[in-house]
Structure 1
Amino acid sequence: MQLNSARQAWHDCLYTAWDSQGAFIEQLGLLGAMVQTTEKQRKASHAVHQALAGGIQVAIGRLPRSIKAFGNFMYAPRLDADTQEDAEEAVFTMVQQRSPRMTAAKREKLEYVVKGVMARYRYMHQGGQSANDDPLASPEGFRAWLDGHYGVHLESSNWERDWGGFVSLAFECCEDLDKQALSPVAAAIYEMRRAA
């Protein structure tokens, strides 16, 4: 495990390597379940990985549930539906708290706008280097994606007035939660490097 960035460390501390893909598929096929074995992982590099991963996992474990869910949504190697729902709820709640009053119909559509922004934000920051371009930067592309994925149709007329501010706000909320999730991990990395 390398301590290059908080994003990469979050991913790597939760990643469990298999000795071979064939062994995994064989276990899954024969037993119908995964079985953890330790006999092939008695190398010094594995012990170092586990020690470093433990320090990062402690930092992650101390986070509030919603922030931890957002971090796992962004950087965990596996994403389950419950974690995704918790992360979406955290961002949606934050967006609502920072938004002016709105109708129930608009709030219902806003939930899907937030989910769409989160998918965009995750794509842009995956890999730990935040190097990907926004795949749905144009309003037309984003509206088509929302319609295709969720069946939510948003009008193109007055896009900037009706939805542009909410999209920007959702990105800001994602950035705020991202910082809150990553700062304790970055602090743990700093302490590990200092102690080494």
Structure 2
Amino acid sequence: MQLKSARQAWHDCLYTAWDSQGSFIEQLGLLGAMVQTTEKQRMASHAVHQALAGGVQSAIGQLAGSIKAFGNFMYAPRLDADTQEDAEEAVFVMVQQRSPRMTAAKREKLEYVVKGVMARYRYMHQGGQSANPDPLESPEGFRAWMVAHYDVKLESTNWERDWAGFVRLAFECCEDLDKAALSPVAAAINEMRRAA
């Protein structure tokens, strides 16, 4: 495990290599049978990886539930439905708290807008370097994607007034949760680098 960035460290500390005992037990549970594999030699690098991963996992373990769920949504090697729902709920609640009052119909659509923004944000920041462009930057592209994925129609008339502010706010909330999730991990990485 290399300590290049907090995003990469989050992913790597939760990654289970296929030569590990954890993946063996996982296969046994999924298949209900043992699968013969070639064992990889345990080396010092494996022990170093485990030690570094433990430090990052400790930092992640101390996060509040909603922040941890958002971090796992963004950077965990495997994403389950419960974690995704928890992360979406965290962002949706934050957006609602920072938004003006709205009708129930608009709030219902806003939930899907938040999910759409989170999918965009995740795509843009995956890989650890935040180098991907926003795939749905144009309102037309985003509206078409919302219809295709959630069957939610957002009106194009008055886009700036009705939805553009909510999209920006959802991105801001994602950034705030991302910083809250990655800051302790970055601090743990810096501490481990100093100790080395």
TM-score by length of 2: 0.91
Alignment of 1:19-168 (within 5 A): 19=19, 31-32=31-32, 40=40, 42-168=42-168
163-172 or 39-48, which deviates more: 39-48
Determine the structure 2 residue equivalent to 1:18: 18
Identify the residue that residue 190 of structure 1 maps to in structure 2. Answer: 190
Q: Tell me the equivalent position of 2:170.
A: 170
* 1:108-162 CA-partner distances (Å, limit 9, x unpaired): 0000000000000000000000000000000000000010000001110000110
Query: Structure 1: where are the runs of 5+ without partners?
Result: none
AA aligned to 2:53 is A
The code of the aligned residue for 1:96 comes to Q
CA distance in 1 between counterparts of 2:125 and 2:48 reads 27
- How far 1:86 moved relative to its partner? 0.2
- Letter of the 1:56 counterpart: V
Instruction: List runs of 5+ in structure 2 lacking aligned partners.
Output: none
What is the count of residue pairs matched by the alignment? Answer: 190
Closer/same/farther in 2, CA of residues 57 and 29 from structure 1, 3 Å limit: closer
In the superposition, the TM-score normalised over structure 1's length comes to 0.91
Partner amino acid, structure 1, of 2:179: K
Residue 195 of structure 1: how far off its partner (Å): 0.4
Structure 1 segments, 4+ long, off by >3 Å, are: 27-35
1:18 offset after TM fit, Å?
Answer: 1.3
Question: How much does 1:41 deviate?
Answer: 5.2
How big is the shift at 1:43? 1.3
